[in-house]
Structure 1
């Protein structure tokens, strides 16, 4: 059974976030062979490159909402843009990334449209005829999983966790047949206004979308202790994260915090350095594909979830590993 799926294509600093392409891939599978996939971009000043990237990945129509109110994130303006796209497309489902922005928009849009909402989806299963769809999401910090579905006739609103679903592959130039169109909408009164944005962790890969994350805990002992971790992350093309203990101790900014009260990451490789493995931290990284733990304490709880463990001083082990990685890449 074919469906019409709408994707909210989130971008940052003029570039699509990878989770937008992952949501587009999920939309393509949900739509079926004869279905249609639409994408909506919220921006100010045009989004030709982002629209072209979406069309190259299989979007049938890209709706561009362009307005000064969308320069920075204003919930009311973004919801109005999404509402206009829903009215124009009449989709069977709306997909968003399970990001800070997606988590704010999805329940509001669902409530405004009387739609069902399933959040933090990590897997989608469809029957052969496409009529039955099951969505898997983690519970209790990844200790359990539930599979949910929507009742018949309901519009779906779904957020997908970054780094869990495959993104669509680029099409050959001859196969790109989609179009981009301006999306007219009315900006409602705004109750908040963003005057400026201060980026305290700029220049780094987004933790939620990084394939490799190297994290430090209280064992790094100081802000300078993160320098060897940054060198390893650079050698692996990854990002640096931290436990709450390291953030509370002032060793790094809270923007790097991973855990129950921080960011949830699911990289291909997670390297925990000097992290004991408290349950709050495990909640944010236990679903990583491969976990490597480096800790002086052989009884540290982190080893219970690690695929590989190294008992040793991180200040000795990490530089040695980094040197070997740099040699291998050279």
Structure 2
């Protein structure tokens, strides 16, 4: 049977995370000799479906549209997936807020165990996933007839463009009454790249001391480099940085080409979110800081002197 990949999108555009999850799904499909179908569920989501159809490795795109599916609520979306599950032996999604919200419910409704945040596909039923904040890697074999999987997309490359797959509309199910409903959303707007897809990230820690210092020291460098801005949990908890900038075990997992850690000690919770970065640069005045153990390049310096100088010379 085929593999069903739940697309991550905002109805208008397809998230980069879908293309990375597709790479994992394609490896499973290759091992078992099956096809990958992508489910785009929403309202007015034809553009996202067309974008999914252009990805290499996709044989079919299923487009489901209704008012109930417009906002990615877990209950109607999981009902839809379960109604389609009979044709699939693997249901997979990126470990984004949508994937983490929907797939556990799907697994419960199907009465199977979910395999969460895989970082490597060994075979169609065997995967590697991090545990203990990434300090250990667990090899898991899924023995259920149907597999429900989320993908840590930082570990997989973006799928390339391929021949245009067919887009097929699927009927929505009669959704049962649900305990949750969509009220409203507030989306932060920024000219900087999205944190999880940025090629360069500069992050600040508690050593910055205040939100004003964060703004004056980190943001000018980010603007010069065209970088996304990240932060440690300590900086976010102290109110120095926005919550959606948090990188780490309880924040976002990233793997940019360049990660610059400024005034970040390197607690294991933070390392779990960024240690897969291709090149890591650490700036910290404490030469014993754990961050230097994972850094490719380290600068023992005062960030309030080093970063303004960096901004002037870029």
TM-score, normalising length from structure 1?
0.86
Which of 104, 107, 129 is residue 104 of structure 2 equivalent to? 107
Change (3 A) 1:37 1:280: closer
Q: CA deviation at 1:204?
A: 4.5
Uncovered stretches (5+) of structure 1, i.e. residues with no partner = 127-131, 326-330
Deviations 1:17-75 (A, max 9, x none): 1111112222223223952211111111x222211111111322211121111222322
Q: CA deviation at 1:279?
A: 2.9
Match of 1:213 in 2: 201
Match of 2:45 in 1: 47
Structure 1 residue 21 and structure 2 residue 19: aligned?
yes
Which of 156, 178, 187 is residue 165 of structure 1 equivalent to? 156
Change (3 A) 1:238 1:183: farther
How far apart are the structure 1 equivalents of 2:205 and 2:7?
A: 34
TM-score, normalising length from structure 2?
0.90
Match of 2:177 in 1: 189
Match of 1:129 in 2: none
Structure 1 residue 144 and structure 2 residue 136: aligned?
yes
Structure 1 residue 318 and structure 2 residue 314: aligned?
no
Q: What is the number of equivalent residue pairs in this alignment?
A: 311
Q: CA deviation at 1:285?
A: 2.3
Change (3 A) 1:182 1:51: same
Change (3 A) 1:248 1:27: closer
Deviations 1:114-160 (A, max 9, x none): 3342111111123xxxxx65311111111111122222x62111111
Uncovered stretches (5+) of structure 2, i.e. residues with no partner = none
Match of 1:77 in 2: 76
How far apart are the structure 2 equivalents of 1:236 and 1:85?
A: 45
Contact persistence 2:39–2:63 (CA under 8 A): yes
Contact persistence 1:84–1:183 (CA under 8 A): no
